[in-house]
């Protein structure tokens, strides 16, 4: 069963929604216009229940099948937020807002899930209930977590959840997925080294924080190189180094360094946190200073569940002929929180030969719409088949 014909018919309409969202990007939880548009469309499609304000600006729609006797309830999730990037595509529907852009394709994700919701509301060819989930703040705000914290899973009795992301560099409409850990945990650290500032010509009277922090930057690289099992994935990147004085002739009192840690397991995450603290405290003590280390745990590892991954891959094969094994991704994904609460799977759909996500020239490829929508619809129809 290839792409559903109905989505070829609906492609122009779904494309128009996508471009409208693209032109009006909203960041983090500020998805007011987008959320209102989503709720309005769901209303128009005849969804059985529409609730706004879940996870602040998230929207939930409920579609019951011809029968719901099976008692099954599946959640389908799309993200709605844009990024603080100034668009450089030159498209006629480019962002109208400076420094805001749909550079991760969440405009496409929202439009495709709306397309699936329209189809499922028309046909209702399943035995069970579909909950369509539109979340804000995927890009760093934890909107998915906030929707879960608002009791979404329990309120609608969601038993399984599915998610999808477009993927530049993959053939348009082709799919890739993997079981288990898939996207990395994304943590940050913020360290302030304190010494004794003074005249740069009299280092003997100071405790030089610049030298201290520079040693720490190098030593932090040994977490990946010397502490971690080489077959495990871990990234420790220092991304900011700031001295409290900018003068040529002053040894600064303080140096602040910041960075990110990406890991694929709890063991590596714990290792990073422990070793960052040990290294920074040890080095600062060696030089007679102090280190104040803050380690912030961000999104957890996003791990697909085995049975749902196998099912999702089968559906993808039916829609587009094949489904590849996806590589590990060291980026983060807020859908991790939903997969911690319920079994489910997250799949990649090809975006063709486009600029990478988070690039100012990126654009979602509307040619992926029929495959993406078909995958959503088939997930529902095959997971909750009608009796005949």
Residues annotated as part of the active site: 81, 138
Tell me phi and psi for residue 317, to 5 degrees: -60, -40
Strand order in the sheet with 254-263: 234-243, 254-263, 185-194, 290-296
Q: Which range touches Zn ion (CB under 5 A), out of 100-108, 153-161, 273-281, 317-325?
A: 100-108
Residue 199 CB, nearest distance to Zn ion (Å)?
A: 47
Q: Which residues contact 61 (CB under 8 A, 6 or more apart)?
A: 38, 39, 42, 47, 49, 50, 117, 131, 132, 134
- Residue with the shortest CB distance to Zn ion: 104
Residue 83 CB, nearest distance to Zn ion (Å)?
A: 7
Q: Determine the Cα angle at 179 with ends 173 and 181, to 5°.
A: 110
Distances (CA, A) of 261 to 41, 116, 141, 185, 215: 40, 36, 17, 8, 18
Residue 228 CB, nearest distance to Zn ion (Å)?
A: 26
CA dist., res. 364 & res. 23, Å (int): 12
Burial class of residue 383 (count of CB atoms within 10 Å of its CB; 0-12, 13-18, 19+)? buried
* Residues near Zn ion (CB under 5 A), total: 1
Cβ nearer to Zn ion, comparing 189 with 299: 299
Q: Residue from 74, 80, 85, 104 that binds Zn ion (CB under 5 A)?
A: 104
Cβ nearer to Zn ion, comparing 129 with 186: 186
Residue 203 CB, nearest distance to Zn ion (Å)?
A: 45
Q: Which range touches Zn ion (CB under 5 A), out of 99-107, 142-150, 177-185, 214-222?
A: 99-107
- Does 112 interact with Zn ion (rule: CB under 5 A)? no
Cβ nearer to Zn ion, comparing 56 with 102: 102
| Touching Zn ion, residues 32-91 (CB under 5 A) | none
Cβ nearer to Zn ion, comparing 318 with 359: 359
DSSP 205: G
| CB-side neighbour CA atoms (13 Å) of 264 | 20
Cβ nearer to Zn ion, comparing 10 with 104: 104
Residue 41 CB, nearest distance to Zn ion (Å)?
A: 21
**Residues contributing to the site for Zn ion (CB under 5 A):** 104
């Amino acid at each position: 069963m290839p792409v559903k014909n109905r989505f070829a018919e609906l492609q122009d309409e779904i494309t128009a929604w996508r471009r409208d969202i693209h032109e009006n990007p909203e960041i983090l939880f500020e998805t007011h216009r987008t959320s209102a548009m989503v709720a309005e469309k769901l209303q128009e499609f005849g969804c059985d229940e529409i609730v706004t304000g879940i996870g602040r600006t998230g929207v939930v729609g409920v579609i019951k099948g011809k029968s719901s006797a099976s008692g099954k309830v599946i959640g389908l999730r799309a993200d709605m937020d844009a990024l603080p990037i100034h668009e450089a595509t030159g498209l006629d529907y480019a962002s109208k807002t400076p420094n805001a852009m749909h550079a991760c394709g969440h405009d496409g994700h929202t439009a495709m899930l709306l397309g699936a919701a329209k189809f499922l509301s028309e046909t209702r060819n399943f035995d069970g209930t579909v909950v369509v989930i539109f979340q804000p703040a995927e890009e760093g705000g934890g909107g998915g977590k906030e929707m879960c914290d608002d009791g979404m899973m329990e309120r609608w009795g969601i038993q399984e959840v599915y998610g999808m992301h477009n993927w530049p560099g993959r053939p348009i409409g082709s799919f890739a997925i993997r079981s288990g850990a898939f996207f990395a945990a994304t943590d940050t650290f913020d360290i302030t080294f304190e010494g004794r500032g003074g005249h740069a010509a009299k280092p003997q009277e100071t405790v030089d924080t610049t030298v201290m922090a520079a040693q720490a930057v190098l030593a932090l690289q040994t977490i990946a190189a010397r502490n971690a099992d080489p077959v495990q994935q871990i990234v420790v990147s220092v991304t900011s180094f700031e001295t409290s004085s900018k003068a040529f002739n002053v040894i600064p009192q303080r140096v602040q360094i910041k960075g990110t840690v990406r890991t694929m397991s709890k063991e590596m995450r714990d290792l990073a946190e422990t070793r960052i603290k040990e290294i920074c405290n040890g080095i600062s003590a060696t030089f007679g200073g102090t280190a104040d280390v803050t380690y912030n745990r961000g999104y957890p590892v996003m791990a697909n569940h085995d049975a749902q991954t196998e099912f999702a891959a089968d559906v993808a094969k039916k829609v587009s002929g094949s489904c590849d094994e996806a590589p590990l991704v060291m980026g983060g994904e807020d859908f991790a929180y939903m997969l911690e609460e319920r079994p489910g799977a997250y799949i990649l759909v090809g975006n063709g030969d486009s600029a990478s996500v988070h690039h100012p020239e990126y654009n979602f490829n509307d040619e992926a719409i029929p495959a993406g929508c078909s995958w959503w619809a088939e997930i529902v129809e095959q997971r909750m088949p009608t009796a005949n």
